[in-house]
């Protein structure tokens, strides 16, 4: 239920930001946005809210935690405290993401955080808050994925075999595997971006021998 509440709240915020974007694009010139940077910050916050804090919490955290134990005929998830840790990490990540929009000029990088827009284009600490937020959200997803996998393999009822598991449980299992395979890559790339921003490294600087985006 808590995942669903966070997801619905993030969805309402993201939808409101989408309405502001459409309002700005309705007529030529600047309407409510005083500069292009403000519009870019709203665009970034909209994308982050809808992808990381609405879709994933509702589909995986909300429906997953509710439906998987029912379909597997088990009492609860294998690790309830790990489940709680996953939620509070997500909540902390959401707080940092919202906070980033009010620091300096805000993070107007869009949700991809492409250099050099996220390095030279945003020298303030707002992008650092976004990166830390994504780090925490990634850890939350990894913890939740481990919990789903252990529950599906070890806590299901003896009358529910793998070949007769419902399709929704299979989708959660496959998604958990994909998250465990992809999120460590993201967790490795984000510190490189942090180092480029704050310690003058050249991981994403083609002129210095790094890999451009």
The answer to whether the beta carbons of residues 189 and 90 sit under 8 Å apart is no
Q: Does residue 213 belong to any structural domain of this protein?
A: no
Give a yes or no: residue 149 inside a domain. Answer: yes
How high is the mean pLDDT of the chain? 89
Determine, yes or no, domain membership for 209: no
Residue 120 domain-assigned (yes or no): yes
* Token pair belonging to 191: 């510190």
Give the count of beta carbons closer than 10 Å to the beta carbon of residue 98: 17
Q: What is the pLDDT of residues 171-206, one digit of tens each?
A: 999 999 999 999 999 999 999 999 988 888 888 877
List pLDDT tens digits, range 109-148: 888 888 877 887 787 889 999 999 999 999 999 999 999 9
Question: What CATH number is given to the structural domain containing 153?
Answer: 1.20.210.10
146 domain residue, yes or no: yes
In a domain, 168, yes or no: yes
Give 140-159 pLDDT, tens digit per residue.
Answer: 999 999 999 999 999 888 88
What is the span of the domain harbouring residue 199? Answer: 2-204
Name the domain count of the chain: 1
């Amino acid at each position: 239920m808590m995942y669903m509440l966070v997801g619905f709240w993030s969805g309402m915020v993201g939808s409101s930001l989408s309405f502001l974007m459409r309002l700005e694009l309705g007529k030529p010139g600047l309407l409510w946005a005083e500069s292009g940077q403000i519009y870019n910050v709203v665009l970034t916050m909209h994308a982050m809210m809808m992808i990381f804090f609405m879709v994933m919490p509702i589909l995986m955290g909300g429906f997953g935690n509710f439906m998987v134990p029912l379909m597997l005929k088990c009492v609860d998830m294998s690790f309830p405290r790990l489940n709680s840790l996953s939620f509070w990490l997500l909540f902390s990540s959401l707080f940092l993401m919202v906070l980033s929009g009010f620091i300096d000029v805000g993070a107007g990088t869009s949700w991809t955080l492409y250099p050099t827009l996220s390095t030279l284009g945003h020298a303030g600490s707002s992008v650092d808050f976004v990166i830390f937020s994504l780090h925490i959200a990634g850890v939350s997803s990894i913890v939740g994925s481990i919990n789903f996998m252990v529950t599906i393999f070890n806590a299901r009822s003896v009358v529910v075999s793998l070949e007769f598991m419902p399709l929704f449980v299979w989708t959660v299992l496959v998604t958990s595997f994909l998250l465990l395979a992809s999120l460590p890559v993201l967790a490795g790339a984000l510190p490189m971006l942090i180092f480029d921003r704050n310690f003058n490294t050249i991981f994403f600087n083609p002129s210095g021998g790094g890999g451009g985006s």
